[in-house]
Amino acid sequence: MTAWNKLLVATTRLLDLHDSAHEPGSPFVQVTQEQRRGLRDGYWLDLGCLLLDYLLEVDFATNSAFVTQRRCLAHLRGEYPRLSADDLSFVVNLLATPSEIHYREWQASPSPSDVDAPAGERSGRSTKRTALIEKQGQTGQVRLTPSGRQAVTLASQVEDLLYSEYDAAKVVAALSRGDYARVPDITQQILMAIRALTQELRRVRENPTHEGKLSALLDNERHYHNALSTIQGTLLSARAQLATPALLTSFETWAERQEDEWDLRMLSGAIGRVLTAIENLSRRLSELLSDIAEGRIQSMGVIDFAGLAQRLLTSPPPARLQSAVVARMMPLSVQVSMPRGETLTMLVETRRAERSGAALVFDEASDRPSADPLLARYLKARGSALRQRLSQAPLSLPEALGEGWHRFEDDVDGAANRTLDCLPQLLNTFVDTQLLGDSLSVGIDDTPFTIDLPDGRRIEGAVTPSLRLREAVAANETESRNREA
């Protein structure tokens, strides 16, 4: 993809927005593919780009002099030997005919020619300075217009990092002229170019099947290193200038005249981010070249595991590789549960039912997990008594079991009262004190206990938990400290 194509890729959708007839406020927001007229073979576009590139070369050589179309035709026939003069005339006439572009810009106060436009809003503007070629009416000679010269320059700058070394020199020029506000914008452009190449390197490492991109990186490797070295040296020189007394005085005078608050660290920070990005890019580029040299680049990227499994079945790997894989992937101990080698596909039902009479109803209230009814009944029946018992003295778990707090009588559906065993619910109160009240806390005594219940259950514990009031705990701690004092 050439530089011109990259420029068009970045701006085509903007042209679609400019040409869109969509009504503002319309609820129809879906976008369809734009229907573009033309031969759809890129012939006229390529012809126009080649003509613009040639006119830029002649523009530098002749100091913006007009060129005959015969010279342009002779040059373009090097690419298209059967190019006719009529085709060239059509391209020249199209690029020399201006087209109106409508846009909006911020306007602080209305101009005399636009009285209806309110102040402080974005008002509509338009321009017809879109012709890329200037053509003489009598002789038909051509040359680039300022817009055409800018278009060719922009196309060359979107190529890659190789053209950013000239942007680094703009930082030094901005500092020397005292145009400090331009420094963050210039460094941001360099940073975007560095990040674009860094992402390209990562994509190549992740998918080495892009042989064209890989070869292009190898061909330009030396140029990339030279460009990075030039950018780094220029920015280091610019950062050194920030510490000079003359620039400090000039910057302070300039900052006092600005509406926004400026600090010299903003400029040094912007330059420092670019230098850090250069170091990361250099390291990634060196790693990529090292991987290519050692053959590791072929083992990276997307792996077809299904195809790999088939190849391993048809042609097993060497014995040394098998032993290495088994040593890496087998468990450290053989006393583990290993699944059977049979396939589990038949046990998994993945088909959707063709028809279902069940209605799917999503109710947020019904989705909430309900509380344990037995726990709720236990707390309702024994909660107040437990709180009254704890207000008198702390209650340990062995004492609670000995006093029978894990049992209570419940009236179920109007039947006769029956005694329920709520040992798990009692243990929950020792774990979550919020069930009984916020003023409770759990104390742990380093005393083991063993309890044999009448039904044969045996409960053992290495420590003894106890429920107590926080006020009582604080009083006990204060009394113990007083005794120690």
Maximum distance among all alpha carbons in the chain? Answer: 120
49 neighbors 2 (Cβ within 8 angstroms) = yes
**pLDDT by residue (tens digit) across 467-480?**
877 765 555 555 66
Structural tokens at position 439: 């003023």
Which positions ≥6 away from 163 have C-beta within 8 Å? 156, 157, 193
pLDDT digit string (tens) for 258-294?
888 888 889 999 999 989 988 888 888 777 777 666 6
Residue range 78-99: mean pLDDT, rounded: 92
pLDDT at 72 over 90: yes
pLDDT given for residue 436 in this prediction? 78
Does the structure show a pLDDT above 50 at 215?
Answer: yes
N- to C-terminal Cα separation, the chain:
86
Q: Which SS3 state, helix, strand or coil, does residue 458 take?
A: strand
Handedness of CA 150, 155, 157, 162 (dihedral sign): negative
Backbone phi, psi, residue 312, to 5°: -70, -30
Cα distances (angstroms) measured from residue 431 to each of 159, 221, 331, 441: 67, 66, 37, 10
- Scanning 34-100, the segments in alpha helix (DSSP H) are 43-62, 69-76, 85-96
E strand or H helix that includes residue 300:
none
Q: Under a CB-based contact definition with an 8 Å cutoff, are residues 408 and 378 in contact?
A: yes
What are 285-340's pLDDT values in tens digits?
A: 777 777 666 655 554 445 567 777 778 778 888 888 888 777 777 666 655 555 55
**Distance of alpha carbon 344 from its chain centroid, rounded?**
38
User: Token pair of 373, please?
Assistant: 């009814």
Could you tell me if residue 361 is left (phi over 0), alpha (psi between -120 and 50 degrees) or otherwise beta? beta
User: What is the model's pLDDT at position 415?
Assistant: 47
Tell me the average pLDDT across 340-349: 52
- Of 14-18, 105-109, 173-177, 196-200, the range with the lowest mean pLDDT is 105-109
Whole-number percent of the chain with pLDDT over 70 = 74
What is the distance between the alpha carbons of residues 420 and 418, in angstroms, rounded to a whole number? 6
For 166-188, the DSSP string reads HHHHHHHHHHHHT-TTHHHHHHH
The average pLDDT across 232-259 equals 89
- Judge contact between 419 and 407, C-beta under 8 A: yes
**Predicted structure pTM score:** 0.42
pLDDT in tens, 177-194: 888 988 988 888 888 788
- The size of the chain, in residues, is 485
Higher confidence at residue 137 or residue 414?
Answer: 137
Q: Is the pLDDT of residue 400 over 80?
A: yes
Provide the pLDDT for residue 430. 79
Q: Report pLDDT for 362.
A: 45
| DSSP classification of residue 351 | P
Cα-based distances in Å from 472 to 67, 174, 442, 444: 102, 74, 12, 15
Q: Residue 40: its pLDDT value, please?
A: 80
pLDDT of residue 74: 93
Buried b (16+ CB within 10 A) or exposed e, 165-194: bebbbbbeebbeeeebeebbebbeebbebb
The residue-averaged pLDDT of 343-371 equals 49
- Under DSSP, the state recorded for 370 is P
Q: What is the rounded CA–CA span in Å between residue 239 and residue 233? A: 10
pLDDT band (50, 70, 90) for residue 382: confident
**C-alpha–C-alpha distance, residues 404 and 391, integer Å:** 18
pLDDT at 352: 46
pLDDT score, position 368? 47
CA distance linking residue 446 with residue 429, whole number of Å: 20
**Structural tokens at position 389:** 């018992």
* DSSP states of 399-429: HHHHTTTTEEEE--TT---EEEE-HHHHHHH
C-alpha distances in Å from residue 485, one per residue of 15, 471, 479, 482: 86, 21, 10, 5
Query: Does the pLDDT value for residue 51 go beyond 50?
Result: yes
Cα 225 to Cα 21, 277, 322, 419: the distances in Å are 48, 14, 42, 86
Q: How many Å apart are CA 292 and CA 305, to the nearest integer? A: 23
Residues 6+ apart with CB under 8 A from 470: 439, 440, 441
